[in-house]
């Protein structure tokens, strides 16, 4: 049985930085004005002091340890100060992705039952109109101005609260200490691959993520990170690294203006970048057009969805020759799990294009990856006999200190996604992804378990098709931008069908010729034989944040309605 302590709080890293590097930059937030830029800054000492003062102020108005607080504040100095204040006070932040849609957001607030709602004016207008947190929210705090006051009835302004309590200025806050596994935050999944679920985060998980960024990614004190994702940006101050926040909508990275990001990198000589595939592609295209170089960047971390080889190669043209794009694999429930550098990834291209899946690298330190048989049933306890041998495709199961132990208020989801490992006194997490480990211990991802197609057509045709191995084969066709494997029912039989989005920049051959070319591709590979139905879709539905996760469930409904034998 592992020993648990009551001494956990990730803000200890901020306190340590404020003590040893008080004047070092912690946060800078860019404001773009025409062709000029302004920056607001906080040192580690200032961020520590401001979050101390906010923690005291929240307590003074009745917001105390154990309460749950929705935080809908755009990346700003206030976002950093408030988040660290909540952690210091033992108040549980509820972090949601605004891009998940109104319906999903409301469901998140129903499930999490927040006591406090902290948000910008736009969030409060939505809260009032849509009933977010109705019945549970007791405290409402506005960050920023510029909204009709009737929408903010009973709402405290954070500036007013600070002005009412000047006695807390420069007074050290006695940071709350929690047990290692005690709930410290609730992070909701994006809902891009299913219903959003609240993941219970502990300080132990946060500490494991901080250790991974130090040890496996080599991030050091004094570095500066271009912070394009709010959650990752919080790790900056915890690592002694400055978070440089560009002027962009973090919930819609595809809309970012590359000029703003390049300007922020150059202004602060950023050494690190965290970018998702959509932003990687957008910045790479802009850099290619202007021949821009990112000479200060030493490390690029990409996560959220697999980035394409072409996107990585295009982006890499801006980097120094010895700088790699590190592709991280994981999920909200467990991140990071494995990583692979771009040079190693490039060598896997041929295998991927022939249906071998996407290589996501080796497990990081302290993480155990296993592959088990595909089943929809819950598995109550772990047994090493569940593991498949190398090169067998199954569900990916992970164990490690950054792996979440449960979902919030969703016991059924916890039951089917977690496996109790009694020997290790922990839970293993079923990723919901399928893949395999090769003979060298490299993990190859083959798509979501829910996106496989279990066909009922007769042997010797394949009975089971996996999304990524099948789609990547067809994506080698020069006219195919991307494809999506779905199941349709034809004459009472479940059969695979490939939805295809064409590259609009290329002249398309006739439908008959394209069909024959795709059919020829299918017949060349054992695992795609039997795919003989193709539908052209004008524009795939994809998630807002990554612009890469295809909503195959929507395409499956469309394909079933559209297909005619």
Q: What is the pLDDT of residue 1?
A: 38
Q: What is the pLDDT of residue 151?
A: 57
Of 232, 257, 259, the residue nearest 75 (C-alpha): 232
On whether the CB atoms of residues 69 and 117 are closer than 8 A, the answer is yes
Alpha-carbon distance 524 to 527, whole Å? Answer: 9
Q: What is the pLDDT of residue 565?
A: 67
The domain segmentation of the chain, as residue ranges, is 10-15+37-206, 354-451, 455-562
Q: What is the pLDDT of residue 504?
A: 82
Alpha-carbon distance 317 to 180, whole Å? Answer: 43
Q: What is the pLDDT of residue 2?
A: 44
Residue identified by tokens 């948000």 is 119
End-to-end CA distance of the chain: 60
Alpha-carbon distance 152 to 143, whole Å? Answer: 11
For residue 18, count other CB atoms closer than 10 A to its CB.
22
CATH fold of the domain at 354-451: Luciferase; domain 3 (2.30.38)
Query: In sequence order, what are the beta bridge partners of 490?
Result: 493
For residue 115, count other CB atoms closer than 10 A to its CB.
21
pTM score, whole prediction: 0.94
Higher pLDDT: 62 or 304? It is 62
Residue range 10-15+37-206 in CATH 3.40.50.980: yes
Q: What is the pLDDT of residue 233?
A: 83
DSSP track, 378-405: ---B--GGGBPPTT--EEEEEESTTB--
Q: What class, spelled out in words, does domain 455-562 have in CATH?
A: alpha beta
With H, G, I as helix, E, B as strand and everything else as coil, classify residue 429.
strand
On whether the CB atoms of residues 203 and 180 are closer than 8 A, the answer is yes
pLDDT digits (tens, 9 = 90+) for 405-458: 999 999 999 999 999 999 999 999 999 999 999 999 999 999 999 999 999 987
73 confidence band (pLDDT: 50, 70, 90): very high
149 confidence band (pLDDT: 50, 70, 90): low
Q: What is the pLDDT of residue 461?
A: 85
102 confidence band (pLDDT: 50, 70, 90): confident
Alpha-carbon distance 214 to 446, whole Å? Answer: 29
Q: What's the token pair of residue 345?
A: 């990834």
Residue 105 parent element (H or E) = helix 102-112
pLDDT digits (tens, 9 = 90+) for 338-351: 999 999 999 999 99
Q: Is 439 exposed, middle or buried (0-12, 13-18, 19+ CB in 10 A)?
A: exposed
Residue 181 scores a pLDDT above 50: yes
Listed in sequence order, the residues at least 6 apart from 322 whose beta carbon sits closer than 8 Å to its beta carbon are none
Residue 84 scores a pLDDT above 60: yes
Q: Which parts of 418-509 fold into alpha helices (H)? A: 467-474
Q: Is 537 exposed, middle or buried (0-12, 13-18, 19+ CB in 10 A)?
A: middle
Q: Which parts of 291-439 fold into alpha helices (H)? A: 309-316, 342-346, 349-353, 411-417
Residue 562 scores a pLDDT above 80: yes
Q: What's the token pair of residue 152?
A: 């903010």
pLDDT digits (tens, 9 = 90+) for 242-301: 999 999 998 888 899 999 999 999 999 999 999 988 899 999 999 999 999 999 999 999
Beta strand 368-372 with 242-245 is: unpaired
Alpha-carbon distance 354 to 476, whole Å? Answer: 9
């Amino acid at each position: 049985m592992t020993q648990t302590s009551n001494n956990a709080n990730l803000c200890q890293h901020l306190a340590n930085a404020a003590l040893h590097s008080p004047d070092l930059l912690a946060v800078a937030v860019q404001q773009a004005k025409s062709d000029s830029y302004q920056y607001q800054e906080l040192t580690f000492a200032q961020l520590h002091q401001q979050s101390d003062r906010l923690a005291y102020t929240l307590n003074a108005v009745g917001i105390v340890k154990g309460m749950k607080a929705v935080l809908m504040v755009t990346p700003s100095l206030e976002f950093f100060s408030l988040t660290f204040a909540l952690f210091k006070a033992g108040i549980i932040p509820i972090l949601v992705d605004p891009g998940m849609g109104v319906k999903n957001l409301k469901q998140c607030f129903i499930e999490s039952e927040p006591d406090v709602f902290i948000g910008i004016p736009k969030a409060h207008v939505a809260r009032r109109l849509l009933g977010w947190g109705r019945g549970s929210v007791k405290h409402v705090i506005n960050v920023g101005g510029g909204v009709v006051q009737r929408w903010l009835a009973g709402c405290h302004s954070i500036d007013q609260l600070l002005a009412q309590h000047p006695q807390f200025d420069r007074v050290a806050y006695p940071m709350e200490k929690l047990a290692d596994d005690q709930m410290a935050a609730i992070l909701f999944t994006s809902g891009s691959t299913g219903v959003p679920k609240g993941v219970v985060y502990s300080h132990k998980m946060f500490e494991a993520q901080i250790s991974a960024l130090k040890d496996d990614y080599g991030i050091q004190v004094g570095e500066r990170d271009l912070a394009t994702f709010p959650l990752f940006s919080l790790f900056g101050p915890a690592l002694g690294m400055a978070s440089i926040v560009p002027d962009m909508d973090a919930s819609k990275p595809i809309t970012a203006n590359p000029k703003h990001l390049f300007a922020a990198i150059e202004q602060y000589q950023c050494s690190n970048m965290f970018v998702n595939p959509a932003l990687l592609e957008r910045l790479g295209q802009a850099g290619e057009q202007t021949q821009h170089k990112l000479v200060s960047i030493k490390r690029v971390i990409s996560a959220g969805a697999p980035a394409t080889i072409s996107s990585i190669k295009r982006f890499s043209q801006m980097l120094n020759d010895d700088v790699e794009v590190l592709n991280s694999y994981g999920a909200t429930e467990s991140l990071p799990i494995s990583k692979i550098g771009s040079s190693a990834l490039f060598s896997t291209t041929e295998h991927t294009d022939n249906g071998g899946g996407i290589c996501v690298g080796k497990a990081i330190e302290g993480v155990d990856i296993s592959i088990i048989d595909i089943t929809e049933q819950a598995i109550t306890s772990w047994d090493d006999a569940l593991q498949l041998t190398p090169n067998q495709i199954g569900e990916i199961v992970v164990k490690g200190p950054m792996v979440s132990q449960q979902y919030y208020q969703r016991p059924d989801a916890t039951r089917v996604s977690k496996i109790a490992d009694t020997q290790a006194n922990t839970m293993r997490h079923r990723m919901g992804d399928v893949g395999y480990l090769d003979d060298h211990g490299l993990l190859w991802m083959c798509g979501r378990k829910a996106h496989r197609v279990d066909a009922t057509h007769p042997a010797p045709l394949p009975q089971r098709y996996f999304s990524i191995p099948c789609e990547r084969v067809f994506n080698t066709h020069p006219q195919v931008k991307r494809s999506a494997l779905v199941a349709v029912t034809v004459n009472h039989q479940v059969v695979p069908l490939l939805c295809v989005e064409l590259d609009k920049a290329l002249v398309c051959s006739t439908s008959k010729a394209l069909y024959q070319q795709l059919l020829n591709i299918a017949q060349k590979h054992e695992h795609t034989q039997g795919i003989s139905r193709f539908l052209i879709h004008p524009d795939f539905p994809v998630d807002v944040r990554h612009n890469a996760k295809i909503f195959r469930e929507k395409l499956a409904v469309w394909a079933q309605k559209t297909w005619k034998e």
